Structure 1
Amino acid sequence: MSEPLVQVSQLKKYFPVRSNLFGKKTGDVKAVDGVDFTIRRGETFGLVGESGSGKSTIGRMLLRLGEKSEGEILYKGIDLYALTREELRKMRPQMQMVFQDPYSSLNPRIRIGEAIGEALIEHGFVGKGEVRERVLEVLHLCGLAAHHIDRFPHEFSGGQRQRIGIARAIALDPDFIVADEPVSALDVSIQAQIINLLHDLQESRQLTYLFISHDLSVVEHLCSTVGVLYLGSFVEVASRDELFDHPQHPYTRALLSAVPIADPTFKREKIILKGDIPSPLDPPSGCKFHTRCPLAQEVCQAERPALRDLGAGHLVACHLV
């Protein structure tokens, strides 16, 4: 088993709610509410869950793009939040991000050659005379042509822009990439190309991914370990095969029942969850899922279940498992 690259312990992120702009605090939005997980070198850890479950907030905190409320994040054994500004700047090339919307992450006034090359110069990877050659190299790796280097972002399709976003992320030769729903805005045929590109780059450059998505069919194809989030907490964490073949938590089963299957003869009962996801400002007591769970009992309302290991690293937070 490979060594841990990222270790997260009791990570929390609360956003204060105030009565008005300068008023006193009236509560907290509990976006991330005490998560623990490890991402091993060379693997792809998938984060799944409904919108508002805290996936993107976790991804941003793993790169220290936002402040945490509590907890610890170790990258290669180093506490990210203990680093000074200068120490963090030196570590930045090792940790990169691919955003959901590639167009909004690119400056519309800058040619893509400059957008990719500016970080190479800023961090001293190459001199000004060598930057064009390095940019052409990463563009080629990401399936783009040499003549694309002098074009502006609006001259590309959505799939090409995402390739540019990936090229910019790998230009600094990172070890770890957070991919925040990188294919959700793309057509299905283009999604497959981008997923295959991410997979090929992982193999050729020994990359480690945190892959954030709400599309379980994509997660099944790309990820080796999957964590299922609900209202800022994990309800289940397991290897991909174990999670998809033997889901244990009622929420995971409901999510999997909604995944389309390309076989018209196969019939699967779809689990329809009642109600909407509760507000993270006032989450339910006990198990956060009990208000929508078809199997909920009295203990679920009174006591919050711990994340227990059922064996082989399959973790589930449910009183009924």
Structure 2
Amino acid sequence: MSEALLEINHLKKYFPIKSGLLNRTVGQVKAVDDISITLQPGETFGLVGESGSGKSTVGRTVLRLTEKTAGEVKYKGIDLYSLSAQELRKLRPKMQLIFQDPYSSLNPRVRVGDAIGEALLDHGLVPGGEVRERVEEVLASCGLSSYHIDRFPHEFSGGQRQRIGIARALVLNPDLIIADEPVSALDVSIQAQIINLFRKLQETRGLTYLFISHDLSVVEHLCSRIGVMYLGSMMETASRDELFRNPLHPYTKALLSAVPVPIPKLKRERIVLKGDIPSPANPPSGCKFHTRCPYATDICKEEVPEFRDAGGNHYVACHLV
């Protein structure tokens, strides 16, 4: 096996809760609580879970857009948190982020060509006279035309804006792309087009994706491996086919039961979870999911389950497995 492109080991990100006149820390929001993921070159890893499970915080912490609390993040064996600001800046072009809302991530006063080409100039990757040609090339690879280069963001549809966001990441020729809910704000038909674009770009450019989503039906079509997060912790990881064929964690089963069935005759039992997701500032003891789990026992309330291999690189954190 080749060297891993990205290694996330026991990553934690806690946000302090401040209170009082002295602004003292009175608690912590455990947004990411001991997450480990390994991505091989050319792989697509899907990170799924409900809103508030910590998926986006994982992506931002990996890229050092927010600093970690504990753990390590390695890119091609290099510990990103051991690098100085100048050393990290040199690696930035190789690790790019695609945002959930393409419109809010674009400056409405800046033409699309300038927004895409800005990073090329900032990092000194191409001479100024070649920027327009490079931008037109990457726009074409994302399904847009050369005349789009002089337009402003408000002149595009939602799907076109997301293509612009993808082009802005691609123009730096990255190895790793972290896509944070990149299709959740789009219509279903446009979602399919963007997913196909992700696939095409991966085949032609050899990209590696960390694909963050709450929609398992989207993840199923794009990802080779999937990790299920709940309240900052990883509940289950497996290959796509294994996870959909044989989900082991009750939370994964509940998420899968909500995926629409393409053939109406194939009925699927709907699992409705009771209650709301607890606050990450005060997570439950033991297994974090036990307050909503229909199969919880006393041990689930008292002991944190070990994340272990259930066979065939199918890992699960559940006392019932």
TM-score (norm 2): 0.99
CA distance in 2, matches of 1:253, 1:162: 31
Alignment coverage as a number of residue pairs: 321
CA distance in 2, matches of 1:303, 1:43: 34
Q: Determine helix, strand or coil for the equivalent of 2:129.
A: coil
Note the C-alpha offset of 1:209: 0.3
Q: Determine helix, strand or coil for the equivalent of 1:107.
A: coil
- 1:298 equivalent to 2:305? Answer no
Note the C-alpha offset of 1:214: 0.3
- 1:65 equivalent to 2:69? Answer no
Superposed CA RMSD: 0.9
**1:175 matched to which residue of 2?**
175
**2:89 matched to which residue of 1?**
89
Note the C-alpha offset of 1:142: 0.2
Alignment deviations for residues 237-280 of structure 1 (CA, whole Å, 9 cap, x no partner): 11111101100000000000000011111111100111000110
**1:263 matched to which residue of 2?**
263
What amino acid sits opposite 2:75 in the alignment? Y
**2:160 matched to which residue of 1?**
160
Note the C-alpha offset of 1:3: 2.9
Decide whether aligned partners of structure 1 residues 14 and 121 sit closer, same or farther in structure 2, where only a CA change above 3 A counts.
same
Note the C-alpha offset of 1:22: 4.3
**2:192 matched to which residue of 1?**
192
**1:215 matched to which residue of 2?**
215
CA distance in 1, matches of 2:21, 2:115: 36
What amino acid sits opposite 2:5 in the alignment? L
Q: Does the CA-based 8 Å contact 2:10-2:34 persist in structure 1?
A: yes
**1:80 matched to which residue of 2?**
80
CA distance in 2, matches of 1:205, 1:268: 38
Q: Does the CA-based 8 Å contact 2:178-2:210 persist in structure 1?
A: yes
CA distance in 2, matches of 1:109, 1:312: 52
CA distance in 2, matches of 1:109, 1:116: 13
TM-score (norm 1): 0.99
Q: Which runs of 5+ in 2 are unaligned?
A: none
What amino acid sits opposite 1:147 in the alignment? Y
CA distance in 2, matches of 1:5, 1:34: 20
Q: Does the CA-based 8 Å contact 2:274-2:292 persist in structure 1?
A: yes
Q: Does the CA-based 8 Å contact 2:261-2:267 persist in structure 1?
A: no
**1:277 matched to which residue of 2?**
277
Note the C-alpha offset of 1:31: 0.3
Percent identity between the two aligned chains: 71
CA distance in 1, matches of 2:73, 2:26: 28
Decide whether aligned partners of structure 1 residues 198 and 20 sit closer, same or farther in structure 2, where only a CA change above 3 A counts.
farther
